[in-house]
Amino acid sequence: NTWMQGKNIVIMGVANHRSIAWGIAQSLHKAGANLIFTYQGERLRENVAELAQSLGGEPILINCDVTKDEEVEAAFAQIKEKVGVIHGVAHCIAFAKTEELEGEFVNTSRDGYALAQDISAYSLVAVARAARPLMTEGGSIVTLTYLGGERVVPNYNVMGVAKAALDACVRYLASDLGKDNIRVNAISAGPIRTLAAKGVRNFNSILKEIEEKAPLRRTVDQSEVGDTALFLFSHLSRGITGEIIHVDAGYNIMA
Ligand code: 0WD
């Protein structure tokens, strides 16, 4: 398969082999894309290097903590130096304090609220701004969101509010960047067991409810999100921007 040959795609947010970002990387790699990985700080470098090397070749790895404007700008400056042009960015980054992911939302602290917004929503804006000048042949930016931004999902709390902001950022960014032929979309993934999901209380019962209620009577996995991301990075989706696509076995349509 070579339909993404010659396309340079930046993958942000691989933490380990369970990361949704890694599922996206695998789908893109199979389609022949050239991948650039960013990782959050030295603690994750080894993990990401090992995974990236398993795809063969000399992986491009770049440090980028999205809470720092300088790091986001420096990361894309380095990417420009290495590959010149990019065609896509997969933004697979979110964070909230574990203590904010249980109990009542009303108890969310000012700090916790700001932190979740900063890492999980604003970072997409900073990344889009830094990526734009490198997307001289047009581009596609894909982020990951969750149903908890549209409806109240127990314990998702402050992250739900951050995802609502992220969804709105997708629309405003799509409106700004469309004139440069840059598309911005989100995939709303069903719950998948990853490091980030560990922070959400009663995650097992959420998975069980999906198996019972989703039209497909099952949960989704990283490869299904990866293949939808591949579609959003490809020419096949050229008419789609500002959209939230649910990859959730249909769960979101059920009452
Ligand atoms: O059920 C799920 N797992 C779902 C996840 C359902 C729907 C959406 N998502 C979203 C998440 O909210 C997130 O936006 O998918 C995205 C990827 O999450 P993931 O694959 O579930 O989780 P994980 O493998 O933990 O990747 C998230 C990564 C971080 O990992 P950890 O767990 O170490 O915080 O986001 C990165 C980091 O690698 N990250 C950052 N990257 C750069 N700068 C930062 C930061 N400041 N903070 C977190």
2 within a domain of the structure (yes/no): no
Predicted confidence (pLDDT) at residue 1 exceeds the cutoff of 80: no
1 within a domain of the structure (yes/no): no
pLDDT range class, residue 47, cuts 50, 70, 90: very high
Structure tokens at 94: 């979110």
CA separation for the pair 156, 140 (Å, rounded): 28
The domain containing residue 26 runs over which residues? Answer: 8-253
- Predicted complex ipTM: 0.98
- Angle subtended at Cα 6 by Cα 247 and Cα 26, rounded to the nearest 5 degrees: 35
CATH number, domain containing residue 245: 3.40.50.720
239 within a domain of the structure (yes/no): yes
| Residue range 168-184, pLDDT digits in tens | 999 999 999 999 999 99
Predicted confidence (pLDDT) at residue 218 exceeds the cutoff of 90: yes
CA separation for the pair 140, 183 (Å, rounded): 5
- Angle subtended at Cα 226 by Cα 238 and Cα 222, rounded to the nearest 5 degrees: 155
Residue 17 is predicted with a pLDDT of 97
Contact 94 CB / ligand 1 (< 6 Å): yes
Predicted confidence (pLDDT) at residue 250 exceeds the cutoff of 90: yes
Buried b (16+ CB within 10 A) or exposed e, 19-55: bbbbbbbbbbbebebbbbbbbbeeebeebbeebbeee
Predicted confidence (pLDDT) at residue 237 exceeds the cutoff of 90: yes
Active-site annotation holder among 39, 113, 122, 156: 156
Ligand 1 centroid from CA 56, angstroms: 24
Global pTM reads: 0.98
Contact 146 CB / ligand 1 (< 6 Å): yes
Predicted confidence (pLDDT) at residue 200 exceeds the cutoff of 90: no
* Amino acid present at 46: E
Predicted confidence (pLDDT) at residue 57 exceeds the cutoff of 90: no
Residue 77 is predicted with a pLDDT of 98
Predicted confidence (pLDDT) at residue 24 exceeds the cutoff of 90: yes
Measured CA to CA in angstroms, residue 197 lies from 189, 201, 243 at distances of 12, 9, 24
- Terminal alpha carbon distance of the chain: 40
Structure tokens at 85: 């042009």
**Who's near 58: CB < 8 A, 6+ residues apart?**
none
Mean per-residue pLDDT for 75-88? 98
Residue 2 is predicted with a pLDDT of 87
* Total number of domains constituting the chain: 1
| Residue range 116-147, pLDDT digits in tens | 999 999 999 999 999 999 999 999 999 999 99
CA separation for the pair 76, 73 (Å, rounded): 5
Residue nearest to atom 35 of ligand 1 (CA): 93
Mean per-residue pLDDT for 78-84? 98
Residue 156 is predicted with a pLDDT of 95
pLDDT range class, residue 209, cuts 50, 70, 90: very high
Predicted confidence (pLDDT) at residue 198 exceeds the cutoff of 90: no
3 within a domain of the structure (yes/no): no
CA separation for the pair 127, 53 (Å, rounded): 25
Residue 100 is predicted with a pLDDT of 94
Which residue out of 19, 37, 143 has the highest number of ligand 1 atoms within 8 Å of its CB and is therefore the one to mutate?
A: 19
Residue 202 is predicted with a pLDDT of 87
Residue 222 is predicted with a pLDDT of 98
* Amino acid present at 97: K
Contact 15 CB / ligand 1 (< 6 Å): yes
CA separation for the pair 136, 115 (Å, rounded): 32
